[in-house]
Structures are given as structure tokens and as C-alpha cells.
Amino acid sequence: MLAFCAAGSVAAIVVSWQHGAMLNYGDAVAHLHIARRVFDSHQPRLTQLGSVWLPLPHVLLIPFVQFYSWWASGIAGIIPSALAYLAACAGLYRLSRRWLPWPCAVLALAFFATNPNLLYLQTTAMTEPLFLCEMIWIALWLVEWRAALDDDLEHLSNAGFVSGHDFSRAEKAEKQRASKAAETLDSYSGKRQGTTSVVPQMQQNKRRALAPGACPLPILPENRPFSAACSAPEGSQRTNAESSLKYDRLKSGRLLWLIAATLVAAIFTRYDGWVIAFFAWASVGIILARRGALRSCTFWLASLLVVAAPAAWFIYNAAAFGDWLYFLRGPYSAKAIEMRTSVPGFPPHPGWHNPWVALIFFMKAVELDAAAAAWGNVLLALSVLGTVWAWLTERRRAFAWALLLWLPVPFYAYSVAYGSVPIFLPVWWPHSWYNLRYGMELLPALALGLGFAAQFIRAIMLEFKPRHLTGERESLWLNCAVAFLLSLNCLNLLQMLRERPLVYVESTKNIESRRPYENQIPPALRTLLAQRPGAVILMETSVDPQLVALTGIPLRQTINESDLEIYKAALAAPAAHAGLVLAFDGDEIDRAVQAHPAGLTALRRFTAAGQPSATIYISDSDFAQ
């Protein structure tokens, strides 16, 4: 499976390279730029990581952007994104196999791994592949932790530390909640009219082992007689149970640390991770409290790690920028950008202060990102059906933790309505492309739901299969449903490629606004730098940092907004600090030039449709050279 995913990743990288699409997104260029300026600037330091975007994606890029050509071409962004994509595929398949037979798990993986929008994003420095990987492994390790916790409780009973009656009482509430689901499952897959349902011997063994006064035994495989276990020496049983108990506790503790570490990674990747971390870790605490294990030293030490992550971000903003909420209300925050770009008297974007419309826009983005235009509603319905079926049949096996994959739905509904996060769709007003890629956040949940939908169809086909089908023929009959859905997935992939993946289209729209200046300004700067070798350029790099890479100079040869004190001094006397000045109409440097024009000569002006004009000034000061 991993080899198949790796082949798809390499193919996508080749196509993206051929089309020069790795730097289409301005955000991808900005991520590479932020990582590069940590060591390539007038003041190399960690505060160059900035304030709005969380730091982990940039930290992961630092080893690769040190190669100038990798930074300038975008190759540096491929490595962490592609590795995150492969890890996400491995995690999704492993998560699916917790409940699903391999054909259904393969379907879930195929839907996820062959999504053309995801395949494109993993060729860029965008943060979505990394965050999807973190989401999947958080859900997976939570499921495995809960399973280890259940095994721990069973082995406590088997070792004689907890009576069978106490163990039964500890799970009584969960069993009562699952009783109706068990009846539903029996009606679909365990009973036919005129026959009686057969209870598997493993379940009989479990009930007998946990009955008051029964000998403490582990859960037995179906082919091992119950009487054989009861006749075994009690000391041997206790020793084996104690050994298993020790192993399960070590495993659950190790998983708890893995969960905490991945939650910290998610917190430092995207703000969605803060919500996931809160719900996931609070749920872990509730489960431990219900088990009487809240005094666990491992839990509280790991809790310190999880809580320290957002606290560290607040402290970093306060120390570096003087405001612990600078990322939320600073000049580069989403709220500030919305205020600058909105038209007075009109709502900034669809769904503004309207959670219902915001939810509709996000779910439509999900459909457009995951399926061809005509198939989005069908896909969403199948995934929801599969998720409901999984909840009814598998919630006793820790499926509830997988519902964390659906958290992007309320998060983005709130963010679009109240968090200054617009989503523009080409099919609805204002008929544009903006933040369409946010719909990718729900791709793992859709994939897992689709796998369970296939399992649901298999259960129906098993119920109504012809009576003469047995053995291999029965397996072939059941796998026909999965084969049919796999074929539909292939058709969906082909249709999406034919229509062009909308995340890729969004990226091309993104670069179209930057391309005129990227084609005009760097050649002019290179010509001037040939006449003035080593001259420092005063310019803003947050709007289009690729201008620096295309010019062929290091970032430390510029004075830009990330240089803080040096930048402020240069704004007060541009000619005295820089040999060349690049100003865009209305920006901070343009206002500084208008206020302090002495020693500057306008050399060339550039214009582009829909963009503020740019002007290159040359300084008369020898100091700037």
C-alpha cells in the first residue's frame, strides 16, 4: 500500500515540476521565505518565524531551505509535505483496519491517496498535508490507547486485583449504551427469519470469566475450550495475567505520550489543532476519571506538555512583538486583512456572522475538493451513512475517537462566520477562488466513512446473498460491492482531472496576480545590481517574497519588514540605508519615500492590472553601496 502511495506522490511531483506549480500559492512562497529568513537576514533569530502562522511548518523547512536553489525553486517544500502525505496514508490504512476488512480499508485509502487536490498540495510548502497527517495519527493513537486501556482493565480482573463483578460494573454504563446498537447489528447481520442467532464462543467465555466467583481468565480464542483454561493452574494464570497487565500499562503510557506529542505538533501547525487538542485531551481526562486513574503521573506530565504549547505561543508573541495576542490582532492577522480589504457598508464575505451560511459554504468546499462537481452530494451522503453505521456497530471498539476527524466542520463554520476566514467558491457568489483548500481538512473523515459505507453494503449483500454461495464464492460476492465502489472512485478521479482539480485551479489564479511583476521586476533589479554590486534593497517581502529569489540575491541583501529596528530606521532615511528602493503604491515604503525623498531618484515604474503600481528608486548615497 505504501509503495502505491509513494508512486502516486512521485508522479504528482513530476507533473507539478513540469508545470512549474510548486510555487503557485503565495502562501507556499511565504512559508519558504519565513523559514529562510531565520538564518538569512540582517538579524538571524527565532523571532523571524513571525507571528500569524504557527511555527512548526517553518521549522521543518529550515534544513531544506538552506540550499538556495531548493528555496528558490520550491523543492524544499516538497520533502516535508510528501513525507507527511505518506505518513497520513499509512495512518489512515492502519486506522481503517482497526474495524474494517482489508477490501474496505483499501477503498478508504484509495479515495484518500488518489485525491488530485491532495496530491498537488503535497508537492508544495502548504500546511494541509502536515496537518492531515497529524489529525489521522491523533485519532489512531487515541483508538489504540483506549484499546490498551480496556485490555489493562481486563488483565486486572484476570490477575485477581479486580473481581469480575467490579470489572463488569466498571463497563456497565458502556454496555447499556451499546445494547441497542447490538440489537440493530443482529437484525442486519446475525439473524435470518426462522433461525436463531448464535453467540460466539469468545463472548460466552468473556461473560463466564467475568461472572462473580468464576476463575479469573483472559479472553479466550474461539478454538480454545473454556474448560481447558479452568483446569490450568491458578498460579500460572495469575502470572500470565500480571505480565500482560504490565505490558498493557507500558503500552498505554507510551501511547499517551505519543498522543500528547502529536497534539503539540498540531497546536504548532494550525489553529484547528488547538480545538482538536482541547477536545481530545479533555476526553482522555474524562475517560481516566471514570476509570479511577486520574492520578496517573504520566497523564499529568503529558498534560503539562499539551498546555505548555499554546502558553509558549502566547509568551513568544508577548516577548517578540509586545502583545500576547499579536497573532490575533496584529497588522498581519486575518481580522486586520479583512478590515483592509472589505468594502464599507457590505459584508466582507458570504457567511459573515451567519453560521448556517458559513457551514453551507464550507461543506460545498468539501464536496468540490473531494469529488467531481456532479458527485459531491452522493459522496457526502455515503460518508455520513458509513459514519452512522460505524457508530452503531463499532462504538464499543473505540470508534468515537475517530469522530475527531469531523471537528473541522464546526471549526470552519465558526471561523467563516466570526473568525475573518472567507471561503469563495466558483459556483456561488462572488464566483471566485479563495481558501477552497480548507475543504481538504475533512478528507480523512470522508475516506473512513466511505470505507464503512462499503462495509454496510457488504452486510446487506451478506443478508440477501443466494443460499448456494459459500466459501470463496461468498467472499467474491461480498467483494463485488467494494470493487464497484473502487471503480466509482477511479471514475471520480478521472472526472476531477478532466474538470481540473479546484485547489490546483485556485493556485493558478493565485499566481496570475503575481506573475506580471515576477516577470518584470527581477530582471530590472538584476541589471541595477550588476552596476552596483552588493547594493542593499529596501523592499517589503511579505506581499511577494519570490521577487527576492528570482532576483538571485540572499534575503540579507534586503531591508524588509522582518528586520524590525533596522527597517524602521531605513523608513526614516531611505537613501541613507539602501542603494535601491522598491515601493508599491500605498505601502509603508511608498509613504516613507514620499515623506523623505531626499537622495532618491525614480528610475522605473511597473504596472499590472488589478495591482498597485511599483516604482524602483536609486539612491545617490555612497553609503548605501
Pairing of strands 611-619, 600-608: antiparallel
Residue 205 pLDDT exceeds 60 = no
Closest CA to 242 of 203, 209, 223, 216: 216
pTM: 0.85
| pLDDT for position 252 | 83
| pLDDT for position 216 | 40
Sign, CA dihedral 111-113-119-125, equals: positive
Query: Alpha-carbon distance 6 to 8, whole Å?
Result: 5
pLDDT range class, residue 228, cuts 50, 70, 90: very low
Count of beta carbons in the 10 Å neighbourhood of residue 211? 12
Query: Alpha-carbon distance 57 to 84, whole Å?
Result: 11
| pLDDT for position 194 | 42
Phi then psi dihedrals of residue 100, to 5 deg: -105, 150
Residue 106 pLDDT exceeds 60 = yes
| pLDDT for position 471 | 63
Residue 283 pLDDT exceeds 70 = yes
Give the pLDDT mean for 452-469: 80
Give the pLDDT mean for 442-468: 86
Report the residue count for the chain: 625
| pLDDT for position 240 | 56
CA distances to 117, 123, 347 from 602, rounded to whole Å, are: 44, 40, 39
206 vs 493 pLDDT, higher one: 493
Residue 474 pLDDT exceeds 70 = no
| pLDDT for position 499 | 92
231 vs 255 pLDDT, higher one: 255
Q: CB within 8 A of 541, min separation 6: which ones?
A: 33, 547, 548, 555, 558, 560, 561, 562
Tell me the CA end-to-end span of the chain in Å, nearest whole number: 57
Query: Alpha-carbon distance 279 to 273, whole Å?
Result: 10
Q: Which residue has the cell 497573532?
A: 327
Judged by DSSP in three states, 74 sits in: coil
Judged by DSSP in three states, 619 sits in: strand
Tell me the percentage of the chain whose pLDDT exceeds 90. Answer: 64
| pLDDT for position 317 | 95
Count of beta carbons in the 10 Å neighbourhood of residue 534? 9
221 with 202: CB under 8 angstroms?
yes
DSSP alpha helices (H): ranges in 268-296?
Answer: 272-290
| pLDDT for position 340 | 79
Query: Alpha-carbon distance 132 to 130, whole Å?
Result: 6
Residue 348 pLDDT exceeds 70 = yes
Q: CB within 8 A of 19, min separation 6: which ones?
A: none
Query: Alpha-carbon distance 116 to 444, whole Å?
Result: 14
| pLDDT for position 231 | 44
Max mean pLDDT among 44-53, 211-220, 244-253, 577-586 falls in 577-586
Query: Alpha-carbon distance 110 to 461, whole Å?
Result: 22
**What is the SS3 string spanning 308-322?**
HHHHHHHHHHHHHHC
CA distances to 289, 386, 401 from 140, rounded to whole Å, are: 21, 18, 8
- Burial class, 565, CB count within 10 angstroms (exposed 0-12 / middle 13-18 / buried 19+): exposed
- Beta pairing partners, 581: 538, 617
Mean of the per-residue pLDDT values of the chain: 85
25 with 510: CB under 8 angstroms?
yes
**What is the SS3 string spanning 554-604?**
CHHHEECHHHCHHHHHHHHCHHHHCCEEEEECCCHHHHHHHHCCCCEEEEE
Residue 526 pLDDT exceeds 80 = yes
| pLDDT for position 337 | 83
